[in-house]
């Protein structure tokens, strides 16, 4: 039995991972029950987070606990053992859609206020800001990241290499990035001392000396690194106009790559500038109309089309004709969905840099155009902080050709992310400025720590990285270097202000370890990227030790090149207080999977990430609680995963072939067979011998039952909040398989 009521916590999230959970969670509960492992669930879906933040608007029956807050407490305890599935990092359009659905279900959630006009609306906006963007990860990631491609997945990719697009030396594909006025080049940084620690204040002082407090009581502790920077509006818009013109002249696709979900304050502002520059004629001509309708370029072209439906048909046609004129005048846009006319600029959350750039590089530097064909593309990444990583990879591919998944090595990652490190924790310290003057960070002792000049429309951003997480990050890097023997590289640039501060700490903390025989280096981003590409091209392995944003980017870039997807990564977060967070991969393609499921009752989501996370979670539980059965479950699950991969039981993309539910069946059968074959635990062997035989004997019947339901539309009675009873029935259609699960 578990000690101190320890348990495994499984998260309920959104879209395709949620649908998969209806099928997989009943299986997990039964297997864990055989080892006396308690399991609980926490609903951190977008709808669940919205409901939890507006209890005063709801009936008693409608209210639900704030699961995210509960997890935020749990991750600071040593007994934490959490399996985290991908959830929606909500853009404003997604929040509005979720609210509309909840309202239609009888939940009296208030409308999202685009421009709060009074204290009540400001209070409502503050609640929505809690669920906006990547609201979940900063709360629960109280540790640094250890991400890598698992050996069975790597072996399978080598034996069954995925397709890679051809690269040509004369490819026009390239990254466009700013050379002045951006966050990277305007950054300043300092490390907090005992004298400057305390409750600081961020304030804006305009050119007339008027002071506005932007944030107060911002706690700073000794040893943490803080940064401040500014994105200059005028420089940004001039850059965009230049690059749009250049794309037209080169006759290549124009695209922009941001992360409006994670960077929920800064990147929607940048996205809005891209939309309003590309469609400049439309936004200038119809400025008054758009203001009346509450149309913001930050929400993309998709919302514009929805809101102009309130206008007379003649006016709608005029606006649409003007948009079409822009398309003809400007370069062709990269498409999200060519068939439906969905462009890169329709929705801010549709094109996410860590998914879109690796996919384009894998495709030979091309994206889909309006004609449904692949074309060379200009990849616009306005801020230059990390753009060099992608340009260097593109240059390498132009020179050496495409990577070969059958022979290439691997890039593992140790990422600094604990306690909202760096940019991903900057949302509450990012401000769009109205006026001209300076923004200052003032210590409790009234010392000016950081100061940046600003103009109207610029945005200011401050970031933090605390010292204990940095120490833990270095410790984890050394641990992995010793465990693997791989060359381990800290991706830090001494010419960047923030990195210069980190380099001092890395050198200091590395000196405290015995690194004899280890190859640990510090490289700037261009050199580190070049080195990583050279290593994996030669079939060698390396560990990239990076900050929070690069952790996100590289753990998509290299896995997508290596194994075709980042959803199959092993992502372990050793929590700083002793617990474990086990993440299950990326969910960027989840909306497309749901769309197909609703149309064809075929769910192509691959739960391999969940399988991979469950195994170390069981190991962690077994070791902490001296539960030998949990360790056996973990060992046999790994055997089942390898068999699952070798027998190619992953979901197919096509209807009337194996889907997510079929993959769950085969994983279950292989797991039961492995438990029946083991000899370490007699009780488990006896129990699962019967189950394994039943599943094996009924394999054809079960697979037929899972297959024959496909091909027709299904109705879940909700996208953001499906009807659980209906959804579970749809996702568990085989009575024979269900009866086998009940045997456990």
pLDDT in tens, 671-720: 999 999 999 999 999 999 999 999 999 999 999 999 999 999 999 999 99
- Reading the block at residue 350, the tokens are 């549709």
Residue 260 confidence (pLDDT): 86
Residue stretches of the chain with pLDDT short of 50: 1-2
User: What does R_g of the chain's alpha carbons equal in angstroms?
Assistant: 26
- Reading the block at residue 176, the tokens are 């466009």
- Give the C-alpha separation, 568 to 154, whole Å: 9
DSSP 90: B
Are residues 615 and 636 in contact, defined by beta-carbon separation less than 8 angstroms?
no
**pLDDT, tens digit, for every residue of 60-70?**
999 999 999 99
- Reading the block at residue 74, the tokens are 């749990």
Residue 4 confidence (pLDDT): 61
Residue 1 confidence (pLDDT): 41
Are residues 422 and 498 in contact, defined by beta-carbon separation less than 8 angstroms?
yes
- Give the C-alpha separation, 686 to 667, whole Å: 19
Residue 2 confidence (pLDDT): 44
653 contact partners, CB below 8 Å, separation of at least 6 = 604
- Give the C-alpha separation, 20 to 732, whole Å: 10
- Expressed in angstroms, the distance from the first to the final Cα of the chain is 18
- Give the C-alpha separation, 609 to 566, whole Å: 9
DSSP 133: B
To the nearest 10°, report the CA torsion of 315, 318, 322, 323.
Answer: 60
Residue 224 CA: distances (Å) to CA of 59, 445, 464, 505, 506? 44, 17, 7, 10, 13
Q: Where are the domains of the chain?
A: 8-142+578-743, 233-404
- Reading the block at residue 552, the tokens are 């996100």
**pLDDT, tens digit, for every residue of 548-600?**
999 999 999 999 999 998 878 888 999 999 999 999 866 556 788 999 999 99
Question: If 0-12 CB within 10 Å is exposed, 13-18 middle and 19+ buried, where does residue 194 land?
Answer: exposed
Residue 298 confidence (pLDDT): 94
Average model confidence (pLDDT) across the chain: 95
Give the global pTM: 0.88
DSSP 374-422: EEEEEEE--S-TTHHHHHHHHHHHHHH----TTT---EEEEE--TTT-G
Q: Mapping DSSP to helix (H, G, I), strand (E, B) and coil, where does residue 464 land?
A: strand
């Amino acid at each position: 039995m578990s000690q101190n009521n320890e348990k495994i916590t499984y998260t309920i999230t959104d879209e395709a991972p949620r649908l998969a959970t209806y099928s997989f969670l009943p299986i997990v509960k039964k297997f864990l029950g055989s080892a006396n492992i308690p399991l609980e669930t926490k609903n951190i879906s977008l709808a669940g987070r919205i409901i939890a933040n507006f209890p005063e608007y709801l009936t008693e029956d409608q209210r639900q606990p704030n699961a995210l807050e509960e997890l935020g407490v749990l991750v600071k305890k040593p007994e934490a053992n959490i399996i985290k599935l991908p959830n929606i990092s909500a853009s404003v359009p997604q929040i509005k859609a979720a609210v509309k659905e909840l309202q239609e279900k009888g939940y009296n959630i208030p409308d999202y206020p685009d421009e709060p006009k009074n204290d009540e609306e400001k209070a409502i906006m503050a609640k929505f800001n809690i669920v906006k963007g990547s609201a979940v990860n900063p709360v629960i990631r109280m540790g640094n990241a250890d991400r890598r491609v698992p050996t069975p997945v790597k072996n399978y990719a080598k034996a069954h290499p995925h397709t890679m697009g051809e690269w040509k030396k004369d490819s026009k594909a390239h990254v466009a990035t700013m050379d002045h006025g951006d966050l990277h080049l305007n950054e300043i940084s300092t490390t907090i001392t005992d004298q400057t620690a305390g409750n600081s204040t961020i304030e804006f002082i305009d050119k007339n000396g008027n002071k506005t407090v932007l944030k107060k009581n911002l706690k700073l502790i000794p040893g943490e690194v803080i940064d401040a920077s500014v994105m200059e509006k005028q420089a940004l818009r001039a850059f965009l106009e230049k690059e749009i013109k250049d794309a037209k002249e080169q006759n290549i696709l124009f695209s922009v790559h941001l992360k409006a979900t994670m960077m929920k304050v800064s990147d929607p502002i940048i996205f809005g500038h891209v939309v309003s520059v590309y469609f400049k004629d439309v936004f200038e001509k119809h400025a008054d109309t758009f203001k009346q309708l509450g149309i913001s370029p930050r929400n993309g072209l998709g919302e514009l089309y929805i809101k102009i439906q309130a206008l007379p048909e003649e006016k709608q046609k005029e606006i649409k004709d003007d948009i079409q004129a822009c398309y003809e005048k400007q370069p062709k846009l990269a498409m999200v969905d060519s068939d439906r006319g969905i462009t890169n600029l329709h929705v801010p959350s549709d094109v996410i840099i860590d998914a879109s750039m690796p996919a384009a590089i894998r495709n030979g530097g091309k994206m889909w155009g309006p004609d449904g064909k692949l074309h060379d593309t200009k990849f616009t990444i306005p801020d230059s902080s990390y753009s060099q990583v992608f340009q260097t990879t593109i240059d390498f591919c132009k020179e050496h050709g495409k990577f070969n998944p059958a022979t290439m090595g691997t890039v593992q990652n140790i990422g600094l992310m604990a306690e909202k490190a760096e940019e991903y924790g900057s949302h509450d310290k990012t401000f769009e400025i109205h006026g001209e003057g300076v923004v200052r960070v003032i210590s409790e002792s009234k010392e000016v720590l950081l100061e940046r000049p600003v103009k109207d429309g610029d945005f200011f951003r401050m970031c933090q990285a605390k010292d204990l997480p940095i120490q833990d990050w270095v410790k984890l890097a050394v641990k992995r270097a010793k465990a693997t023997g791989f060359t381990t590289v800290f991706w830090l640039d001494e010419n960047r202000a923030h990195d210069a501060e980190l380099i001092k700490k890395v050198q200091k903390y590395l000196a405290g370890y015995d690194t004899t025989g280890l190859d640990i280096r510090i490289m700037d981003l261009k050199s580190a990227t070049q080195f990583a590409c050279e290593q994996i091209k030669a079939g060698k392995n390396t560990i990239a030790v990076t900050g929070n944003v690069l952790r996100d980017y590289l753990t998509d870039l290299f896995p997508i090149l290596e194994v075709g997807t980042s959803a199959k990564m092993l992502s372990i977060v050793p929590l700083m207080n002793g617990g474990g967070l086990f993440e299950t991969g990326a969910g960027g393609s989840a909306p497309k999977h749901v769309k197909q499921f609703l149309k064809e009752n075929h769910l192509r989501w691959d739960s391999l990430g969940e399988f991979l996370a469950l195994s170390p979670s069981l190991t962690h539980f077994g070791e902490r609680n001296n539960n030998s059965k949990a360790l056996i479950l973990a060992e046999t699950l790994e055997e089942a995963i390898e068999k699952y991969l070798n027998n190619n039981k992953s979901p197919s993309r096509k209807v009337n072939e194996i889907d997510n539910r079929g993959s769950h069946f085969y994983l279950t059968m292989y797991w039961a067979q492995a438990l029946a074959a083991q000899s370490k635990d007699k009780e488990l062997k006896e129990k699962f011998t019967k189950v394994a035989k039943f599943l094996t004997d009924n394999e054809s019947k079960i697979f037929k039952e899972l297959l024959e339901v496909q091909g027709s539309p299904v109705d879940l009675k909700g996208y953001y909040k499906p009807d659980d009873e209906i959804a579970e029935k749809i996702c568990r259609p085989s009575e024979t398989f269900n009866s086998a699960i009940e045997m456990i």
